[in-house]
Amino acid sequence: MKLRSFLCVLALLAACGQPAPKQERPATPTQAPAAKTEPAPPPRLDHETVIGTWSFDGSCASGDGMGISADGSAFYDEWGTGSWRINPQNQLVLDLMRREMGVEDDPGEPLTLTIDVRGASEEALELEIRGDDTPRVVTALRCS
């Protein structure tokens, strides 16, 4: 009996010194690299989006802006008046006559501005304006 107890204790002690069997861990799936996110496409322009008075300096009090009217007329800054349209490339196009301020007899010179609308909300338009000089990127705030 003592021998049997001794052998049981010996077996238990031998088992205690053995490392536990390795548990298999489920393989962790490797994460694919994050896909590069493309910028959102520009909004599809319509009359509702662009009609209004827009301020380029955010004040709605200076002449730095443009006006797009429902009747097709437009003004730009304090020097240009004319018409507007949305072209097939989804750009706002202003066909203007540039006139020097304060000179009544100035016949003006024709100028076309092409405006890419990069983003739009009810309150603002993100614009890139191209004409006869360096492109201008502005956030235009709706004044009315």
Number of folded domains that form the chain: 1
Indicate whether 74 belongs to any domain.
yes
Indicate whether 84 belongs to any domain.
yes
Indicate whether 128 belongs to any domain.
yes
pLDDT of residue 33: 60
Q: What is the mean pLDDT of each run of 10 residues along the chain (144 residues)?
A: 50 54 59 65 86 95 95 95 96 94 81 95 94 90 94
Range of the domain at 135: 47-142
pLDDT of residue 10: 47
pLDDT of residue 142: 96
Indicate whether 32 belongs to any domain.
no
DSSP structure string for 37-87: PPPPPPPPP-HHHH-EEEESSS-SSSS-EEEE-TTSEEEETTTEEEEEEE-
Alpha-carbon span 134 to 64, nearest angstrom: 17
pLDDT of residue 42: 75
User: What percentage of the chain's residues is helix, strand, coil (to nearest 5)?
Assistant: 15, 35, 50
pLDDT of residue 137: 95
Using a cut of 0.85, tell me whether the model's pTM lies above it.
no
